[in-house]
Amino acid sequence: MSRSWTLDPEYAAAIAADDLHASLAPAHLPVGDVAGRRRRALVRLGLNRRTGVGEGVTTTDYRIPVTDGEIPARLYTPTDWTGGSLGLYLHGGGWFFGELDDFDGAIADLVRRSGVALLAPAYRLAPEHPYPVPLADAYAALLWAAHHGDVLGADPRRLFVMGESAGGGLAAGVALLGRDRGGPQPAAQILLAPMLDDRTVIADARIAEHATWTYDDNITAWQALLGADAAADEPASMYATPGRAADLAGLPDAFIEVSTLDVLRDEGIRHAQRLLAAGVQTELHVYPGLPHRWDRLVPDIALSRLAMAARVRAMQAV
């Protein structure tokens, strides 16, 4: 008989001390309720939003051309930056919520700690802009960064993709597009709790008990991206759902991070295994007793510090 899993004690104590239980408890929102989840996201983002980027980081806003107009993008650089590698950072939000301002503090923190610049495009959100729009926007940003290294002060040979959650899925899709369209090919892919596979629909009660991103949230996100009539048993584009890609050979080195109480855990682990089987150098981290993107709420516990150190090392290695 399988027993339930428990939260990391330090995480549990931290959210209890800050009285975050009510805010983190999954609301009973029906599948497909994007508007309700957007309202809930505003509360959760407010719990961990940093005001501004803070000291040591400079931001510059750009407009990136896409097939039918332009999208905003923001470059984050260390104030003493003299050039080097550059990461294309794709924020999370299930493809249906989140603006650059919501992630300013988190992106700037990565830049400050690593000394590596990040370019974050404001890709358009589903369901108003379903697949392929978010991925096309992300790939357009990669192309733009690769061709504007002189403006950005970046070495195009050291351009990598990095993303969290839905943004991690986009980053993996961008890596596939770079390979299949003949470049530019990112030098590395850093995927944090990535959304990779629309077939993650059957709940594991041991995870569901602690999930902050629920199975219903996950189904809603994929329906927003692929269409409400999309069925998990029907093949979707591998660029939208990299977990379905038959061939992962020739992709850039990968860094993948998951946690044991995250709905997305198994698809991240499978992706790492399949990348390794395809001959792609891959580093996988699995953090125990923690839900989806836990460190956003409790950045100072031991496992959050450990995870941040690993991400920074991966960024600096490019």
Distances 9 to 3, 110, 289 between C-alpha atoms, Å? 17, 25, 8
**All residues at 6 or more sequence positions from 110 whose CB lies less than 8 Å from its CB, including other chains:** 89, 116, 118, 311, 312, 315
| 151 CB neighbour count, 10 Å cutoff | 12
Q: Residue 78: beta bridge partners?
A: 57
**All residues at 6 or more sequence positions from 112 whose CB lies less than 8 Å from its CB, including other chains:** 54, 56, 57, 78
Distance CA 176, CA 237 (A): 11
Distance CA 270, CA 179 (A): 20
Residue positions annotated with a catalytic role: 165, 262, 292
**All residues at 6 or more sequence positions from 134 whose CB lies less than 8 Å from its CB, including other chains:** 95, 123, 124, 125, 126, 170, 225
Distance CA 63, CA 196 (A): 28
The CA-based diameter of the chain, rounded to the nearest angstrom, is: 60
